Amino acid sequence: MPFFMMFDMQYLMLVVLPGLLLMGLATLAVKGSFHKYSKIRNSRNLTGAQAAEQILRSYGVSNVRVERVSGKLTDHFDPKAMAVRLSDKVHDSTSIAAVGIAAHEAGHAIQHAEKYAPIKIRMAIVPLCNFGSSIGIWVMIIGFWMEMFELMVLGILLFSTVLVFQLITLPVEFNASRRAMQAIHSLHLLEADEARGARKVLTAAAMTYVAAMLQSIITILFWVMRARSRR
């Protein structure tokens, strides 16, 4: 956020603070759920890596590796390297949380293998969204201070690519979690009560994407109102 906008009380009260609150609550929910269920060992004594490997094999996905990645909650599927990367506290952990997160990332690998349409669309629009997110806010600011309505509209459209990306991301993430829970049940990776814990971890993680999307909507609505004031 540009330094001078820190002095804009309207922007601070209507965009920055609500955004911080949404992301703060979502982050606390994720950390709380992960902290709770990362301390409970699953009854089958499966590590996150073993769970991911079992799920991939059961779906016939043989060209994806399961690797360790440094950091905390840095778990992800890398479609270029064809690798499910699990953080230190997931890869070797036998906790309920580790199995849930590993299953979710395996779900992304299965989406890729099955050519799940939303994940293909998301990958295709990444360059456009990166450009829109980096330049859109500056175009809106310049348009506002130069009192150029058309420039502000252009900035809003550019920044809106972020929202499009987030709208596509939601079904991708929820679908990966649904696949994860289906695999957990069908392969009996967790007992019923343990599976409920894994679902809570994945649901909390999904809320971070919802919070980010709401933050983008708030930002866009704020700038739409400002653009109308310059018309």
Range of the domain at 21: 3-229
Q: Can you give the pLDDT at residue 8?
A: 66
DSSP conformation class of 67: E
pTM: 0.86
Averaged pLDDT for residues 116-135: 92
pLDDT band at residue 1 under the 50/70/90 scheme: very low
Kindly list the distances between the CA atom of residue 11 and the CA atoms of 17, 19, 67, 156, 228, in Å, as whole numbers in the listed order: 9, 11, 43, 15, 16
pLDDT for 11 equals 67
Q: What does the angle CA 214 – CA 130 – CA 117 come to, to the nearest 5 degrees?
A: 75
| Phi, psi angle pair for 93, to nearest 5° | -85, 145
Q: Looking at the 3D structure of the chain, how many domains does it have?
A: 1
Q: Is pLDDT above 50 for 6? A: no
| Confidence tier at 5 by pLDDT (50, 70, 90) | very low
Calpha distance 88→102 (Å, rounded): 12
- Is the per-residue pLDDT at 25 higher than 90? no
The conformation of residue 114, written as its DSSP 8-state character, comes to T
Q: What is the pLDDT of residue 15?
A: 74
- The per-residue pLDDT for 93 is 96
Q: What percent of the chain has pLDDT over 90?
A: 71
Q: Burial-class residue 94 by CB neighbours within 10 Å (0-12, 13-18, 19+).
A: middle
Q: Hey, which of 16-25, 77-86, 210-219 has the most confident mean pLDDT?
A: 77-86
Pick from 79-83, 168-172, 223-227: least confident: 223-227
Catalytic, out of 53, 67, 105, 147: 105
pLDDT band (50, 70, 90) for residue 119: very high
Q: What percent of the chain lies above the pLDDT cut of 70?
A: 94
Q: What is the DSSP letter of 41?
A: B
Is the pLDDT assigned to residue 40 strictly greater than 60? yes
* pLDDT attached to residue 62: 94
Q: Quick one: pLDDT band at residue 30, thresholds 50, 70, 90?
A: confident
194 is catalytic: no
Q: For residues 160 and 147, which has the higher predicted lDDT (pLDDT)? A: 160
The angle formed by the CA atoms of residues 73, 77 and 82, to the nearest 5 degrees, is 145
Q: What is the mean pLDDT of the chain?
A: 90
Residue 4 scores a pLDDT above 70: no
Is the CB of residue 109 less than 8 Å from the CB of residue 51? no
Q: What is the pLDDT of residue 55?
A: 98
Split at pLDDT 50, 70, 90, the class of 24 is confident
CB atoms within 10 A of CB 116: 19
Name the β-bridge partners of 83: 65, 78
User: Can you tell me whether residue 217 is helix, strand or coil?
Assistant: helix
